[in-house]
Chains A and B, each alone.
Chain A
């Protein structure tokens, strides 16, 4: 878990974004490891799952792993991943780790963070 990163926040994101932009345009094969934590099969959860799948298919086709976890079934995983909100999409890779909370109905910030917007 990255702990002492606060001070480097802005620069870290910026550089990483730049790296990703470069990497994405150059190779187009950066792998994304994502986990989506939902709480039961509520309408909100279903919407989040749908949105996540759509997002991945649209922008990260062929280079992502998406795992969907129900926190009711596996609460210890929620603890390990430090999840507090539901739904939460955790981007494990590429670094830095990022948590997108909400049902992903607003994809804009995700795309900026995933550094894939330019690609589309």
Chain B
């Protein structure tokens, strides 16, 4: 039957993708997890989104928190529960069970609970029900045998009613729930996990089972923030992105020239490595500026500097980013890496990308992430991030600090193979000064310069100039300038010498021509006499000799 496959969308971002459309419609789903793992929030968000976005009203039956507390707690998450209650889209029934008040005196059932639930469902015409946490009954009802039988009946009854139910359960040791209620809820079980890794909290979600449908089986990181719950299925990416032929200018015209004349590919990943103070952030700022100049958006994720610090620093090289921030074309997200776990960073970054939909994302620098995870973890995070950016066609620009002692072709996080374009900026120390040079180490799919360029940070931004390549080797900075002026001097001297020689020949030529002319005129007067002819011949021979010496054959 088609009913087996129909699903109810939760509206929780990301979860509907992992589950292939949502929770099983008209069936109960068990959400289990430890204390503080977000079970109640998940339940409430399921109802609020249902009522607000999908026109499906809901009933929240709370066994733990009072309805007034619930309203207050969720108001801070932007869920206006009292508004929904007033509009009769949501009903909350707080079931208070006080063990000390209850005494068993014979046979009973939980019909009272059924009636209350049924009454609440009918009062708002609910399609969604949350029972939070039904296991509280185990501490309140003395007869566990009856309770288990009644729970089984309850879930069957809910199925018959056709309401999509979320049941939360406290995780037990060695079992999904403390009282084993997962055996009654066999359609869908989702486990929420909240664990500490090196003093950093990480939340993960896993679909333990989902009968009758395929689903993502990994652990997915999720986030609880002011928008509620969000799951990011960033682990399930493949290499299926389309390659774009469009180019994104780098913001530095000489660099564009080095990259086949047009800049980076749109949707490609770019890595800039370099030791401290080589100008990696300046390259990033150029890209950000040129992106915003075209009216596109740029997201700048900074792990080292604050927003105002970056803006101030970039002003010093003539890049004013402030106007773009005001126009909301440029968004900074500045956070220390140690604030969250790696997964959380990925989730937050992805969420920002989703919200802001930029065409360029800058992460400055990725090397800082190593402080909260090992190389493998950082690489895995970045791989997933790069993949998700590629799928969205977003150009991703990463800077990476490398220590001076390391080989330039090696990044600490080992991500260079992921990148499409890799630019290395280095400093060369000679004659008591450090000069920056830039290489394009690789750039997939385009003709790119194999030559080194000197990289100058001026008040007009980054400028690239040719380095001096000559018999004295590759020279940069003042050595280049000195060598260039020496070269100019030498050239001037050489030209002067040539000019002098030319002038000398010119003078000699003129003298020779004058002589020839004189002889010719003399020969013309003594024509016809053998004596003069002979003398003329001799003169001519003399003239020829002179012409040979002066190197001007036309003299004859």
Known: A79-B93, A82-B96, A96-B101. A102 touches B106 (CB 8 A): yes
Interface residues of B, Cβ cutoff 8 Å to A = 93, 95-113, 115-116, 118-119, 137, 140-141
Known: A78-B116, A82-B95, A84-B116. A98 touches B111 (CB 8 A): no
B61 to nearest A CB, angstroms? 10
Partner of B110, one of A13, A84, A99, A100: A84
A99 to B112, CA, bound (A): 13
* 12 pairs from A and B in contact (CB 8 Å cutoff): A37-B112, A44-B108, A71-B112, A75-B116, A76-B119, A79-B93, A82-B95, A84-B95, A84-B97, A105-B105, A105-B107, A106-B105
A88 to B99, CA, bound (A): 14
Which residue on B lies nearest to A70, using beta carbons? B115
* 8 nearest A-B pairs in the assembled complex, by CB-CB distance: A102-B106, A75-B119, A39-B111, A105-B106, A86-B111, A102-B105, A103-B106, A83-B112
Interface residues of A, Cβ cutoff 8 Å to B = 1-3, 5-6, 9, 13, 37, 39-40, 44, 48, 51, 71-72, 75-76, 78-79, 82-89, 96-107, 109-110, 113
A96 surroundings in chain B (CB, below 8 A): 101
B210 to nearest A CB, angstroms? 30
B95 surroundings in chain A (CB, below 8 A): 82, 84
Query: Are A72 and B115 in touch, CB under 8 angstroms?
Result: yes
Known: A9-B100, A96-B101, A99-B101. A106 touches B106 (CB 8 A): yes
Q: How many A-B residue pairs have CB under 8 A?
A: 112
Which residue on A lies nearest to B141, using beta carbons? A85
A44 to B96, CA, bound (A): 24
Query: Are A88 and B108 in touch, CB under 8 angstroms?
Result: yes
A44 to B141, CA, bound (A): 19
A104 to B118, CA, bound (A): 26
A43 to B96, CA, bound (A): 28
Which residue on A lies nearest to B97, using beta carbons? A84
Query: Are B98 and A101 in touch, CB under 8 angstroms?
Result: no
A54 to B116, CA, bound (A): 29
A1 to B97, CA, bound (A): 11
B101 surroundings in chain A (CB, below 8 A): 2, 96-99
A68 to B116, CA, bound (A): 17
B141 surroundings in chain A (CB, below 8 A): 84-85, 101
